[in-house]
Amino acid sequence: MAYDDLIRRTTRAGTATPDRAAATGVPADPARTSPPDGTASGGRAPVHGIVKPLPPELFVVHDTNAEMRWEAMRGIGYHVPADRFFVRNHTVTPIIDVTAWRLLLHGSGLRAPRAFDYRELLSMPAVTRDVAIECAGNGRSLFTTQQRQEVCGTPWRLGGIGVARWRGVPLAAVLERAGLRPGAVDVMATGLDPAYVAEGVDHGRVRRAIPIAKALDDVILAYEMNGHPLPPDHGYPVRLIVPSWIGLASIKWVGDIEVSASPLTSPWSTEFYRMFGGDHPARGSEPLTVRDLRSAFELPWGAALAAGRPHVLHGRSWSGGGRITGVEVSLDGGLTWQRALLHGADVAAAWRRWHITWNPRATGPHTLLARAADAAGTVQDERTPYNELGYLFGAVAHHPVTVINA
């Protein structure tokens, strides 16, 4: 399966057709002239198609995506500031004129089509929630580094995750106002970013259905991130926030929402974001929904730590399956485990912070391990079952560090 190849080609060839580009303000050719490190040159959009700066101390760029470096969270509070929040774009960030923007709701699950403008959404009763967005492929590179398995896709380490404070209108209220019919079963939002073209196949715009029960439960049509209007890269003017589900469900730059009385599919539920290979059925698993359980240290990958003095190691754990109930850390490659001290906010749909003190004596390479347990009784495992596209790597990560003589 040539998925990474396909992503590479998509990036090289560009996917924004000229007319589409004019409509969204995205440069027709998101700049094959600038260097791949993402620095803009001569006013042209950088090669990755992301608007915000991506300084190398905060991000690792993978084609059209930007991974947060975990050390960028050291000393930072519960929320990931927008300047360091990871970006996962299938194509490029569109620039949308909010005065012309409309959200169109339509489909057999509604009494009639209904359009909303930005002002109407802002005038509706709002909710504010701390929610993690995490890519289903977060941790994918660990299939290879820890399990020696070849998988396809963006080689994230653990930085394809972020928690922000989102504010917006409950999707339920918008569906209600649009005239929801009792027979509605699926709700599919479509983004206004350019169509995703891979290996010569035009998959259309990024879209993925969620069942009506989830849509009415806790999904938000968000227009603010951490107290400010959404930044362009994170969905301005409006995105979905689908708590505890894989990031893909949280469609950015929403332009229309289909509400249907029969099930809806898209390539994002039939071809991508399912488990293939390994022990999975030949047609693949069911489409992925809930995120899994993971932990990360707020340290550089390969951090250098001075021997003979105590270090407070900070980290965070998160799960789509519920609150984090405990975190254990091993400083000796898994022989012994100690409980980390959990602290701060404890929001099931977001994450939990923790720390532990380490006084390393022996110099040389070490592996730090953190394993969390959640309210559903799940504990992070030693291995993750293989799947070809490398989704949901939930096993304990082996975080390499080196202890040096100070």
Ligand X SMILES: Nc1nc2c(c(=O)[nH]1)N[C@H]1C(S)=C(S)[C@@H](COP(=O)(O)O)O[C@H]1N2
Closer residue to ligand X, CB minimum distance, 59 or 253: 253
Kindly state the smallest distance separating residue 113's Cβ from ligand X, in Å: 21
Kindly state the smallest distance separating residue 4's Cβ from ligand X, in Å: 15
CB 227 within 8 A of CB 165: yes
Rounded-to-integer distance, Cα 120 and Cα 89, Å: 28
The structure tokens listed for 403 are: 């202890």
Closer residue to ligand X, CB minimum distance, 259 or 368: 259
Which DSSP string corresponds to 78-141?
Answer: SSPPGGG--EE-SS-PPP--TTT--EEEESTTBSS-EEE-HHHHHHS--EEEEEEEE-TTTTTH
| CB burial of residue 365 (10 Å; 0-12, 13-18, 19+) | exposed
Kindly state the smallest distance separating residue 292's Cβ from Mo ion, in Å: 13
Closer residue to ligand X, CB minimum distance, 101 or 337: 101
Q: Would you give the binding string for ligand X spanning residues 307-346, x where CB under 6 A is met?
A: ----------------------------------------
Q: Does residue 174 bind Mo ion (CB under 5 A)? A: no
Closer residue to ligand X, CB minimum distance, 241 or 305: 241
Question: Which residue from 194, 247, 320, 390 is in contact with Mo ion, where contact means CB under 5 A?
Answer: 247
**Count of Cβ atoms closer than 10 Å to residue 251 Cβ:** 27
Identify what 206 binds: ligand X, Mo ion, none; CB under 5 to 8 Å per kind. ligand X
Kindly state the smallest distance separating residue 135's Cβ from ligand X, in Å: 4
Question: Which residue from 67, 193, 218, 388 is in contact with ligand X, where contact means CB under 6 A?
Answer: 193
Q: Does residue 234 bind ligand X (CB under 6 A)? A: yes
Which of these ranges, 15-23, 66-74, 243-251, 312-320, lies near Mo ion under the rule CB under 5 A?
Answer: 243-251
Identify what 253 binds: ligand X, Mo ion, none; CB under 5 to 8 Å per kind. ligand X
Q: Would you give the binding string for ligand X spanning residues 90-119, x where CB under 6 A is met?
A: x-----------------------------
Q: Which of residues 54-93 bind ligand X (CB under 6 A)?
A: 85-90
Distance of alpha carbon 272 from the chain centroid: 15
Rounded-to-integer distance, Cα 232 and Cα 26, Å: 11
Kindly state the smallest distance separating residue 215's Cβ from ligand X, in Å: 16
Which of these ranges, 51-59, 123-131, 139-147, 246-254, lies near ligand X under the rule CB under 6 A?
Answer: 246-254
Question: Which residue from 47, 103, 248, 324 is in contact with Mo ion, where contact means CB under 5 A?
Answer: 248
Identify what 191 binds: ligand X, Mo ion, none; CB under 5 to 8 Å per kind. ligand X
Size of the residue set binding ligand X (CB under 6 A): 18
Question: Which residue from 61, 132, 135, 296 is in contact with Mo ion, where contact means CB under 5 A?
Answer: 135
Q: Which of residues 195-214 bind ligand X (CB under 6 A)?
A: 206
Kindly state the smallest distance separating residue 203's Cβ from ligand X, in Å: 11
CB 362 within 8 A of CB 403: yes
The structure tokens listed for 234 are: 């994170």
Q: Which whole-number Å values give the CA distances from 137 to 134, 159, 247, 319, 388, in the listed order?
A: 8, 10, 9, 14, 11
Q: At residue 100, what is the residue type?
A: A
Rounded-to-integer distance, Cα 400 and Cα 106, Å: 50
Residues 26, 31, 33: CA angle, nearest 5 degrees? 165
Closer residue to Mo ion, CB minimum distance, 88 or 140: 88
The structure tokens listed for 272 are: 């991508």
Q: Would you give the binding string for ligand X spanning residues 247-286, x where CB under 6 A is met?
A: xx-xxxx---------------------------------
Q: Which whole-number Å values give the CA distances from 47 to 10, 44, 63, 205, in the listed order?
A: 12, 9, 8, 20
Which DSSP string corresponds to 240-284?
Answer: EE-TTB-GGGS-SSEEEEEEESS----HHHHTSSS--STTS-TT-
Kindly state the smallest distance separating residue 178's Cβ from ligand X, in Å: 20
Size of the residue set binding Mo ion (CB under 5 A): 4
Q: Which of residues 80-109 bind Mo ion (CB under 5 A)?
A: 88
Q: Half-sphere exposure of residue 296, counting CA atoms within 13 Å on the CB side?
A: 25
CB 34 within 8 A of CB 17: no
Taking CB atoms, the residue at the shortest distance from ligand X is 191
The residues of the shown chain that bind Mo ion, judged by CB under 5 A, are 88, 135, 247-248
The residues of the shown chain that bind ligand X, judged by CB under 6 A, are 85-90, 133, 135, 191, 193, 206, 234, 247-248, 250-253
